[in-house]
Structure 1
């Protein structure tokens, strides 16, 4: 037994030394802000079995209730840590044996080795882990039968804990722990003395419980793989670069550098992907020039005979919006410019600016959203030189004329349209 205890002691001292070395290394490499949480609280309950020493004729059940322990653990790194825990065991007789009742209380300081991380469990599972723990502490046996009173001793403790990760904050655990008492004067039943007074008291605990992880980071050290995290970050960076090199709006500037990733197709842009708008009226200069040449200079006769007004009032000129947005899409700003050009060439005309929303969401909310959309278009027209007194905002709320389950159809009704008078 002494040789066995010496071996256990040597193992525990090795764990403590390795934990200290790893703590120093971790401090140097992670600086002051690791990417994982270090603290946890452990709560367990289960059964016990005193193996030695019991007075002849006295015995407990094979799985004797009751055992409980509470621990606080701190991990220096994903592989090594320490914990302080307290345990309580109660011993009573089994059927057809003399009656007795005694209690065992202990406090232990233990080193912890994350076997799962040491053996690279992360290469095949993210939910199963194993912890080995061992250390030393003080304990007490108390009883009101037999000798009565308390017996104080030291102990060594060694155990293995299986883990199932339920979430980043909680893990389900199952633990098997052995305790060897030194200088135990009483038997666990409190009815006799151990012979000799050496390392004769042996107790086994089996329990299940929960571990609660504390801290602001996403993962605890129990489940943090430095290599996996390094590869994940590298993969994210590559994905960002690959995605950023796509040119969604086909303006010749990659999305990674494009400050205006939804530029109107075909208009000139600067080196940052922004459409050129020298007069700052919200309409790209190239598109503005096209509309002016097409509908104003060349279309004066058309404007005279009312064809342009018919186009506007017939719902062919619209401004569109993204879902739950009151900001016009860049591609549809040409509709505002169409109205602005018409009103400037017809100073006696006014216009109703009519906002709509799709049927997703509450009716009251959608009515307010349609008003905000109309107000946004009015502001663009005012900035383009149209007096506010010529612009009347109307909130028409939900447009129920399309199938609300169709994504494409809903896009059509998220709009502002016009009526000129």
Structure 2
């Protein structure tokens, strides 16, 4: 058992070196009923299913699709009605591989609350049969495999159901302890049915079970055309400034004043034009409501504009891309707009000058331009 634990910790410490944008560790706590498949002595039997069994597991996800789990379990085995009385205790420790089937099968396309894990592995187990016959401890090896549907309650807590089958090797006694067994190969089996809770550990927003990495997007010809149009507009601005006879230093200063400090009194109209034309947006990563680092300048831009234009008000409009259920996209888009709203309030902008809403999916963005869809757009009234 010590070697099993040390091996799991060693493997986990190696994979911990590769950082990801999600929590990797979690704890599973479960309990439920069992079905003893075989072997049993004549005249002995258990309820089907029989109460009770419990398990605790520590899980480490290498990435959002695959992980490892160290599981410990206990089964309390006793007679059913009409059987010869007996009591046995079964303990096990298992090292398993875990597959996040929900991520592999793209559950994100239709739900953000339901997931399925598949697990399997091997370990050691012990059977203590002490009534009516006090047997020596029965030492065995076993393999285990199961399926675990999950329901997400929060970013930290999920409920789960689990069905796991366990096959013992080298089991010497029946589960009731009343007889010996001479079976070769698989010499004992049981099935556990559990309900429990999974608790995520770490300081990231989501656990690997619910994290969906998106394939890098390819910029479409339409996106290139839009970028080209914007660049030509900027080149025109520079040409006009050069025509005024500005030297290099003055040119840089003027551009800085127009773009970085567009909220000043002399540039209010220009700032409003930039916002109205969609040049000022706040962007977000996939399934996130945290502002991308590069988008904080857009928030500062709006802050300066509002603080230097006392009559101006701004509406923050949140969007999501087309992936995910409609209801969740509406929730996420509003959460993004509220995030930008809170940042502006904390930065000193009056709440009377702001409003926000989420409208869900941005239907104007194609699948190849999802990054542009995950945003908060700004509408100003002067």
Range of TM-score over shorter length: 0.5 to 0.7
Q: Which runs of 5+ in 1 are unaligned?
A: 1-19, 246-252, 274-327, 334-404, 408-421
- In the TM superposition, residue 188 of structure 1 has moved relative to its aligned partner by 0.6
Tell whether the 8 Å contact from 2:126 to 2:138 is kept in structure 1 after alignment: yes
Shift of the 151–258 alpha-carbon distance from structure 1 to 2, 3 Å rule, reads same
Tell me how far apart the structure 2 counterparts of residues 219 and 207 of structure 1 sit (CA, whole Å): 24
Report the equivalent of 2:124.
Answer: 138
Report the equivalent of 2:193.
Answer: 206
Report the equivalent of 2:265.
Answer: 264
Tell whether the 8 Å contact from 1:184 to 1:198 is kept in structure 2 after alignment: no
Tell me the matched-pair count: 247
Tell me how far apart the structure 1 counterparts of residues 177 and 40 of structure 2 sit (CA, whole Å): 8
SS at match of 1:195: coil
Report the equivalent of 1:61.
Answer: 47
How do 1:18-417 residues align onto structure 2 when only pairs under 5 Å count? 32-145=18-131, 146-227=133-214, 258-264=259-265, 329-331=307-309
Structure number with higher relative contact order (C-alpha < 8 Å, ≥ 6 residues apart): 2
Tell whether the 8 Å contact from 2:258 to 2:270 is kept in structure 1 after alignment: no
Q: String of CA shifts for 1:205-243, please: whole Å, max 9, x gaps.
A: 000111111122111111111117x56xx9xxx9xx99x
Tell me how far apart the structure 2 counterparts of residues 176 and 216 of structure 1 sit (CA, whole Å): 30
Give me the TM-score of the superposition, normalised by structure 1.
0.51
| Pair member with larger Rg | 1
Tell me how far apart the structure 1 counterparts of residues 113 and 268 of structure 2 sit (CA, whole Å): 53
- In the TM superposition, residue 138 of structure 1 has moved relative to its aligned partner by 0.5
Q: String of CA shifts for 1:357-405, please: whole Å, max 9, x gaps.
A: xxxxxxxxxxxxxxxxxxxxxxxxxxxxxxxxxxxxxxxxxxxxxxxx9
Q: Which runs of 5+ in 2 are unaligned?
A: 1-10, 231-253, 275-305, 312-351, 355-382
Q: String of CA shifts for 1:97-124, please: whole Å, max 9, x gaps.
A: 1111100000011111111111111121
Tell whether the 8 Å contact from 1:147 to 1:191 is kept in structure 2 after alignment: no
Shift of the 329–133 alpha-carbon distance from structure 1 to 2, 3 Å rule, reads closer
- RMSD of aligned alpha carbons: 4.2
